[in-house]
Amino acid sequence: MKDKITVGPLTASPGERVQGYYPVPGSDMRIPVTVINGDGDGKRVLVTSGVHGGEYPGIQASIELAGELTPRGMQGAVILVHPVNVTGFEAKNSACFPEDGKNLNRLFPGDPNGTLGERVAWCMTEDFHSQADFYIDLHAGNADEELTKLAFVPGACDPEVARASLAAAAYVDVPLAIRSGSINGACGSAAAVHGVPGILLERGGNGIWSRQEVDDNKADVKNLLRYLGVLPGQAEKYGDGPAYVTNALYLNAGETGCFIPFVRAGEDVKKGQLMAEIRDYFGRVLAAYYSEIDGRIFYMKSSLAIQGGHSMIAMGEVPNQ
């Protein structure tokens, strides 16, 4: 007989959709959750959004999916969290919890007695990741980042988990996939701790969202659910899948001042090409940044202001570009 699914105070019987709030122990935070328990056996898929509260396309997509997906004809279950970082979303804080200033995607597996961010990470690890057979984490560029759509797949995990994650990337409509070495991010933690394959989708940025971005996220999630056998129908495979990026480089600013870019996200650059300068408040050049490789820009700072040590440009080599 098919099992009930319980997430905190929420319990969904077979053929039932339940919505409500998951209370984070030791805090006032309540996280909105939808549990859809299909009327047939199959995989349990976790879909999260708003790990960073200012990454809007995934948040709106997961809210809409929570209302559109139905247990009828579903084989398995879908657990949606929309959003995870509620107070960050409400404060329009792009990456961190206002309560502790910490980035949730650096805190997994968390601490049940820690700060709010650490408690949320612990709850997600113990009560959500532990129940999943596959994990879809929806992201975007931060409020001050422009980004070209791409996927991250866990790499610091069992090789079979990594292979299953990369295979799934062929069923999302993005041109690039990057192996992540993270074990303290949501998707990386699930893979490393619980052996759960997954994919982190990046689409949109700059603190805005569009109908197209939301619809594209929804289409990718539904296609993955068909690929995993949770939803009926044939999944669409996008050719041989995204190009698997090698030699990813993450460049931080060496100075504080004004960020003046000469490239854009999604652009291919040549080794030795001038990508950006940081100038002072009189327009004098403090530092110039040249590409060390032939590669493509994945995401980059879009604000004029930049602080030394903060993320500036992410790029990598793309085979057969």
For residue 2, the model assigns a pLDDT of: 76
The two tokens of residue 284 are: 């004098």
For residue 1, the model assigns a pLDDT of: 54
The C-alpha atoms of residue 304 and residue 13 are separated, in whole angstroms, by 51
The C-alpha atoms of residue 281 and residue 320 are separated, in whole angstroms, by 41
Assign domain 245-317 to a CATH class. mainly beta
For residue 303, the model assigns a pLDDT of: 97
The C-alpha atoms of residue 292 and residue 151 are separated, in whole angstroms, by 23
For residue 319, the model assigns a pLDDT of: 83
The C-alpha atoms of residue 216 and residue 124 are separated, in whole angstroms, by 25
| CATH number for the domain running over 5-227 | 3.40.630.10
Q: On the CB side of 156, how many CA atoms lie within 13 Å of its CA?
A: 13
Q: Please report, in tens digits, the pLDDT of each residue of the chain (321 residues total).
A: 579 999 999 999 999 999 999 999 999 999 999 999 999 999 999 999 999 999 999 999 999 999 999 999 999 999 999 999 999 999 997 789 999 999 999 999 999 999 999 999 999 999 999 999 999 999 999 999 999 999 999 999 999 999 999 999 999 999 999 999 889 999 999 999 899 999 999 999 999 999 999 999 999 999 999 999 999 999 999 988 899 898 999 999 999 999 999 999 999 999 999 999 999 999 999 999 999 999 999 999 999 999 999 999 999 999 865
- For 251, the 3-state DSSP assignment is strand
The C-alpha atoms of residue 244 and residue 161 are separated, in whole angstroms, by 16
Averaged confidence pLDDT in the chain:
96
For residue 240, the model assigns a pLDDT of: 85
The two tokens of residue 225 are: 């659910």
Q: Do domains 5-227 and 245-317 have the same CATH topology?
A: no
For residue 321, the model assigns a pLDDT of: 53
The C-alpha atoms of residue 65 and residue 85 are separated, in whole angstroms, by 18
> Could you tell me which residues come within 8 angstroms of residue 17 by beta carbon, excluding any fewer than 6 positions away?
34, 35, 36, 37, 69, 70, 71
Domain ranges of the chain: 5-227, 245-317
Chain segment 176-187, per-residue pLDDT in tens? 999 998 899 999
Within 141-210, residue ranges assigned H as helices are 159-168, 186-194
DSSP secondary structure of 166-178: HHHGGGSS-SEEE
Q: 215 with 203: CB under 8 angstroms?
A: no
For residue 228, the model assigns a pLDDT of: 98
What Å distances lie between residue 71 and 28, 78, 184, CA to CA? 31, 9, 32
What Å distances lie between residue 115 and 27, 86, 101, 150, 229, CA to CA? 9, 15, 10, 31, 38
